[in-house]
Chains A and B, each alone.
Chain A
């Protein structure tokens, strides 16, 4: 779950352009095995119900993106094995999504019955000769990813997805970045007057926070009215 405190952290990192740290912290909030699962979980997190929406300003109009328009179609995860000329067996599939390289599409390399699971910490050791031999197969998966729609409202208002760090950062911005000053001000108000502790915001989502804030305002107004009557 992306908590309210996470939203503050994410918004701060985004505004400070600390993209590497932002990506690391953001992806660590989800449990996933490939980028398709990550995108699906982002969608579920950002749109907890059908009325949740992202509002965008475009051409002096407000564009509202609902759940059904956000990643409207994601392909099913798949992978395949290919055999290289030196009998090396390489498993290729959709990448994990926390590092960006063609090598990220290589999931496993099997040489002489030894299997090497490829991950963020060792993909850089893959020789270019192996990668080049896989590039035609990798391209199939890359093309499918790059054909996904990030959102599709209609023919005029739509945005494609691309497998790169910049697009993931853009998705984070669309879904989880808010005005940092307003977030802190509202949090401070609930801490001061609403009986909340700082750690409470670690277990409250942005959506829940909005509900609490609304209820708190309602109670405050009621109390003020009662005070005036006295």
Chain B
């Protein structure tokens, strides 16, 4: 890299204090991000595939920029930071420390069985792995998006007295499990996640919002 290019990059680097990982130096989202994303999306057939690819591209960009396996709070904080630089007339300052999802299991009944679902906040590399698995499918569908957006938060499922950790399941098994959930189970689960993420949920909406970093 020539001196002038590295100097140019340096001028746009800022120091940011992430909630979990502390201080890091980070550049801004640049044209390279847009170019590579557009090239990937051009080849895709449907909206769900495009959204999953966008999130994967964004997560990978964050990973490559920070070289860290960021926590979910760190990732959303960084997203809000980048968005505020781009959307100067529509900045937000959501608190990323309000989530109570991890401490608030969801309880329900499936037929006669008692079901308890516990939650975690996903790490960046976990999300990247899961997204890679999903975009690998020939024709990802809307259901894959719903699966990703909900099941990445699941830590365990307790059915009556038996606990199954999500980390012990393969992505295939996790997805099979998701397909067994009907709407009566899925809708309140989704609402439970959104509500208990508190203000983190507002930034979560940026994750799949193309318009923040792309001219559409």
The stretch of B27-35, B102-110, B117-125, B154-162 in contact with A is B27-35
Query: In whole Å, how far is B147's beta carbon from the nearest beta carbon of chain A?
Result: 30
Q: What class of interface size applies to chain B in its complex with A?
A: 20 to 34
Given A101-B35, A102-B215: A128 and B8 interface contact (C-beta under 8 Å): no
Is B28's CB under 8 angstroms from A128's CB?
yes
Neighbour of A127 across the interface among B2, B5, B29, B88, CB < 8 A: B29
Neighbour of B27 across the interface among A114, A121, A127, CB < 8 A: A127
A201 CB-CB contact with B under 8 Å: no
* Bound-complex Cα distance A128 to B38 (A): 14
- Give the 7 A-B CB pairs with smallest separation, nearest first: A124-B32, A127-B28, A103-B31, A126-B31, A129-B85, A124-B31, A127-B12
**Proximity string of chain A (88-106) to chain B, C-beta cutoff 8 Å, 1 when within and 0 when not:** 0000000000000111000
B11 CB-CB contact with A under 8 Å: yes
* Bound-complex Cα distance A126 to B4 (A): 13
Given A114-B7, A116-B8: A101 and B31 interface contact (C-beta under 8 Å): yes
A229 CB-CB contact with B under 8 Å: no
List A98-125 residues whose CB lies under 8 Å from chain B: 101-103, 109, 111-112, 114, 116, 121-125
Is A135's CB under 8 angstroms from B215's CB?
yes
A132 CB-CB contact with B under 8 Å: yes
Given A116-B8, A122-B5, A132-B86: A127 and B215 interface contact (C-beta under 8 Å): no
Cβ–Cβ < 8 Å partners of A177 in chain B: none
* Bound-complex Cα distance A79 to B142 (A): 45
A131 CB-CB contact with B under 8 Å: yes
Residues of B within 8 A of A (CB): 2, 4-5, 7-9, 11-12, 27-35, 85-86, 88, 213, 215
Is A128's CB under 8 angstroms from B7's CB?
no
Q: What class of interface size applies to chain A in its complex with B?
A: 20 to 34
Is B4's CB under 8 angstroms from A116's CB?
yes
* Bound-complex Cα distance A103 to B34 (A): 10
Neighbour of A126 across the interface among B30, B85, B86, CB < 8 A: B30
**Known pairs A124-B30, A127-B12 / 14 extra A-B pairs, C-beta < 8 Å:** A102-B215, A103-B31, A111-B11, A121-B5, A122-B8, A124-B31, A124-B35, A125-B5, A127-B29, A127-B31, A127-B85, A128-B31, A128-B33, A135-B215
Is B30's CB under 8 angstroms from A128's CB?
yes
* Bound-complex Cα distance A101 to B8 (A): 19
* Bound-complex Cα distance A77 to B187 (A): 58
